[in-house]
Amino acid sequence: MAKKLYVGGLSYSTTEDSLKDAFAQAGTVESATIILDKMSGRSKGFGFVEMATDEEAEKAIEMWNGKEFEGRNLTVNEARPMEARPPRRDFNRGGGGGRGFGGGQRW
């Protein structure tokens, strides 16, 4: 069964292809994804690599965790499931009370 790895500390210029090629040294890479910022489209500096087997995933962790890749030291470990987060407040649509300062008293 495939195992997903978190890869942090990526250079902003790292591509999914270069990430996949690097991790292919440890075994079969099912997928390699770099997380992008929605607004700028620029890399957030981390991503995920899915290895074909648990053994290959362990080998990739040993091979790359703490090692340099494209000028940056990587953090590589088993990816955790995404945790549920509370909904974000939309500050553009109200939801707050304060309409100005004070209560209209004159001194």
Q: What does the pLDDT look like over 59-71, one tens digit per residue?
A: 999 999 999 999 9
pLDDT reported for residue 56: 97
Average pLDDT, the chain: 88
Domains and CATH numbers, the chain: 3-78 (3.30.70.330)
Specify whether the CB–CB gap between 42 and 36 falls below 8 A. yes
pTM of the model: 0.76
Q: What's the rounded Cα separation, in Å, for the pair 46 and 86? A: 23
Q: What is the pLDDT of residue 83?
A: 80
Taking Cα atoms as reference points, which of 81, 15, 27, 34 lies closest to residue 57? 27
Pairing mode, strands 72-73 and 3-8: unpaired
80-99 pLDDT tens trace: 887 877 887 766 655 555 55
Q: What's residue 80's pLDDT?
A: 87
**Mean pLDDT calculated for residue range 6-11:** 97
